[in-house]
Chains A and B, each alone.
Chain A
Amino acid sequence: MKSTTNNSGLPAWLRTILIGRKPKWTLIRIAVLVVTCYIVFGFLVLVIRIEGPSMLPTYSTGRINLVNRLAYVRREPRRGEIVAIRLSGSEYNSREFVHDLVRFRLNFDRLARPSVMYMKRIVGLPGETIEFVGGRLLVNGQPLDEPYVKARYRWEMPPRKLGPDQYFVVGDNRTMAIDDHEKGVPLRNHIVGRVLL
C-alpha cells in the first residue's frame, strides 16, 4: 500500500482532511468561523446552564439553553415568555445601542456577557395590576390561566400596579413560601433576552 507524503511528513489524505486542498482558503474559513462564533455566542445568542429550582417543572437544574439577546430589539416582551434577567449592570435597548453606535462610544460593559442571570416568566405587562390571592395570580383582578404551574403554595401579595415600562416576572415553581421565591419587577434594561428552547 502506497501513500504519498509531503514536506511536513503527513500522508496526503491526512493533510487534505486536516487543512484541505487549499490551505489558504481553509485558514480564511476557520478565521470567519471563529469570528462568527465569537460574535454569535458572545453577544447575540447566549448559552446558559440552568441552576436552581425556581423554574421547575418547566426547566430543571443542569439543562442547557439559549438566550436570544435580539428578541426585544424590534418588539417588547410578551406575557408568558421566559426571559433572562441580569443582576448587575444593564443591557442596551435598541434605541440606546443605535445612539451610542453612531457616536462611537459603545459601553462594552453593557455588551459583555453577564455571568449570572435570573430566569423568569413574564406574567405582568406595563400598566397592569398584579396580585396573588390564595396562590392564584390575578391580572387586573382576573385570574390568569397558568398551565405551567403544577402545584402552588398559598401565596398572598397585595395588588401592585406596574408602571409604563415595568414587567412582573415570577418563576413557575410556586411550591415554596412567597418570601423564598425571587419574583418582582426588574428594571427593563436588566432584561437580557428571551429564552429560546
Chain B
Amino acid sequence: MRIVLRLLLVAALVALGFWLWTVLFPGPEKLIRKRIAEVARLASIAPGEGLVTQGLRIQSLVNCFDPHAELTFDLPGRSQYTIAGRDEMTEHAGAARRNFRSLKVELLDPNLALSPDKQSAVVDLTAKVKLPDERDFIVQEMKFTLKKINGEWLIIRVETVRTLSCSPQGGSLAVCRPVRAPGGHRAYNAWQFLPFPVGRVPSRGVVLEFSNRRLISSSIPQTD
C-alpha cells in the first residue's frame, strides 16, 4: 500500500512539474492562442467605458499587431476594404467605440498551423460579434497570420474567409482587385486564399481562372 501511495505521489509530482513547465515556458501554440484571446478581449467594448480606459484598450489592441499589419475585409454585399498600419487601426477602433455603446467579440474554434521553423503561424477561426440591442449575432470565418518578431507573436495580416465560397469545378473567373501592401506598394490579389507576392502580378484587371481553389490560367488584358 505504501509503495502505491509513493508511486501516486511521484506521479502527482511529475504532473505538477510538467504543468509548471508549461506555465513558465509556454509553447508557441499556447502563446498564439493567448494572443488571439487577448485580441478578442480588447476588441470588445464594455458598456460605460471611460475615455482613459478606451484609449488604453485601443493602444493595447493595436500593440498586438505588427506596425505594417493589414486587415482585409471582404464581406458579402459590401465592397472589399483594407485597414493598413497601426494608425488606421487606431482610427477605426476609436470610431467603433464612438458608434457602439457595447460590443462583444469572441474568436472561436481556432485552428492553428505553425510553420516548420516555428516563426510564423496561420490561425483559421470564427469571429462572433454581438451588437447591442440586436437579437442576432454576426459570424465570420477569418484567417489570422502571425509572425514571431523580437520574441513576440504579432499579427501581420487578418483576412475574412468566405466559408461557402469553395470554387466550383470547371473554373470561375475573378478579376484582381488592388490591395495595399506593406511599405505603401500596390499589390493585387484575386481572392483571399490566393495572395500574390508583391510585384508578381503586373496590373489591375488580370483575369484568373480557378478550379478547386487552384489557378488554372490567367490572362492579362491588352489595355490597362
Contacts and interface: CB of A to CB of B under 8 A. Distances in A.
> Which of B109, B110, B211 has its CB near the most chain A CB atoms (within 10 A)?
B109
A135 interface: no
A92 interface: no
Contacts of A109: 111-112
Contacts of A86: 109, 126
B165 interface: yes
Nearest to B162: A184
Contacts of B166: 166, 184-187
Interface in B44-85: 76-77
Interface string A163-183: 110100100000001011011
B31 to A, nearest CB: 17
A197 to B, nearest CB: 22
A88 B110 contact: yes
A48 interface: no
A33 to B, nearest CB: 26
Q: Interface residue tally of chain A, by bracket?
A: 20 to 34
B40 interface: no
Interface stretch (B1-9, B136-144, B177-185, B194-202): B136-144
Given A116-B128, A185-B164, A89 B136 contact: no
A161 interface: yes
Q: Would you call the interface of chain A mostly helix, strand, loop, or mixed?
A: loop
Nearest to A185: B166
A160 B168 contact: yes
A121 interface: no
A185 B111 contact: no
Contacts, number: 88
A116 to B, nearest CB: 5
Given A115-B128, A180-B76, A186 B108 contact: no
A51 B137 contact: yes
Contacts of A185: 164-168
Contacts of B135: 61
A52 interface: yes
A185 to B, nearest CB: 4
A186 B76 contact: no
A87 B126 contact: yes
B218 interface: no
B141 A183 contact: no
A87 B141 contact: yes
Given A116-B128, A163-B168, A185-B165, A88 B141 contact: yes
A88 B170 contact: no
Given A51-B137, A115-B108, A161-B169, A89 B124 contact: yes
B150 to A, nearest CB: 28
B119 interface: no
A88 B168 contact: no
Interface of A: 51-53, 61, 85-90, 109, 112, 114-116, 118, 120, 160-164, 166, 169, 177, 179-180, 182-187, 190
The 6 closest A-B pairs by CB, nearest first: A163-B169, A184-B164, A179-B77, A89-B111, A115-B108, A87-B141
28 contacts: A52-B136, A87-B139, A87-B140, A87-B163, A88-B124, A88-B141, A88-B142, A89-B111, A90-B111, A116-B108, A116-B109, A118-B163, A118-B164, A120-B164, A160-B172, A161-B170, A162-B168, A162-B169, A163-B168, A163-B212, A166-B166, A166-B168, A182-B163, A184-B164, A185-B164, A185-B165, A185-B166, A186-B166
